[in-house]
Amino acid sequence: MTRQAEITRKTKETEISVKIRVDGAGVSRISTGIGFFDHMLDQLARHSLMDLEITAKGDLHIDQHHTVEDVGITLGQAFRQALGELRGIVRYADAMIPMDETLTRVAVDVSGRPFLVFKTAFSNAKIGEFDTELVREFFQAFAQNAGLTLHIETLYGVNNHHIAESCFKGVARTIGRAVAIDERQADRIPSTKGAL
Ligand SMILES: [Mn+2]
């Protein structure tokens, strides 16, 4: 069974299409109209080893909020749909991601129980044209729709590009490992309840 999904979501504010292949090679084709956000989504594919195609046309003349949030929603929906009943997955993973002076740790439970803890602060409102407060908005939308318990904490860091990128790389690394198939329980759902 190929774990993949394709979702298109259209509102008055945005039009988003997402194609995801969970067992991929980290290949991506991303176009959101926001350069730095494209760079972050590239990292998400590259370090999770999922293949991602994401196209977003949003109301950027207002600001980036709707576009970033709606990509998070649509990507989360596609991720969840691709994984189905979560049979055989490792489920839990964590990572410590250094980027020069910055260190971020991420822990995930691919649980179907959405919860975000986000303890990362930025010292600038912008990275290039990108609004740093939208990093949290993206992960909130993604965790909610993907059904992830997701904890992100930047322990220290100075450069805002490094801080944001370490969060995306950490999430990529953890979700990539958490959705890998555990050969010792490949046919089972990894919960004593029998369902996730
Ligand atoms: Mn970078």
What distance in angstroms lies between residue 101's CA and the mean position of ligand 1's atoms? 14
Other residues' Cβ atoms within 10 Å of the Cβ of residue 38: 18
pLDDT surpassing 90 at residue 195? no
Q: How far is the CA of 164 from the centre of ligand 1 (A)?
A: 9
Distance CA 49, CA 18 (A): 16
For 35-70, how does the pLDDT look when each residue is reduced to its tens digit (9 = 90+)?
999 999 999 999 999 999 999 999 999 999 999 999
- Identify the band that residue 167 occupies on the pLDDT scale cut at 50, 70 and 90: very high
Q: Per CATH, which fold does 4-178 belong to?
A: Ribosomal Protein S5; domain 2 (3.30.230)
Show the tokens assigned to 15. Answer: 């039009």
The domain segmentation of the chain, as residue ranges, is 4-178
Per-residue pLDDT, averaged over 155-173, amounts to 98
pLDDT for res 194: 86
**How far apart, in whole angstroms, are the C-alpha atoms of residue 64 and residue 91?**
32
The owner of tokens 């394709």 is 6
From ligand 1's centre to the CA of 162, what distance in Å? 7
Per-residue pLDDT tens digits for 65-111: 999 999 999 999 999 999 999 999 999 999 999 999 999 999 999 99
Q: How far, in Å, is the centroid of ligand 1 from the Cα of 116?
A: 24
Q: 34 alpha carbon to ligand 1 midpoint, in Å?
A: 14
CA of 195 to the centre of ligand 1 (A): 38
CA 163 to ligand 1 center in whole angstroms: 10
Three-class SS of residue 29?
Answer: strand
Q: Map residue 49 onto helix, strand or coil.
A: coil
Q: Among 11-15, 118-122, 138-142, 191-195, which stretch is predicted with the lowest mean pLDDT?
A: 191-195
Q: How far is the CA of 128 from the centre of ligand 1 (A)?
A: 11
Does pTM surpass 0.85? yes
Sign, CA dihedral 170-176-178-182, equals negative
DSSP annotation string for 65-131: HHHHHHHHHHHHHHHHHHHTT-TTB--EEEEEEEETTEEEEEEEEESS--EEEEE---SSSEETTEE
What pLDDT is stored for residue 46 in this prediction?
A: 98
Ligand 1 centroid distance, CA of 183 (Å): 34
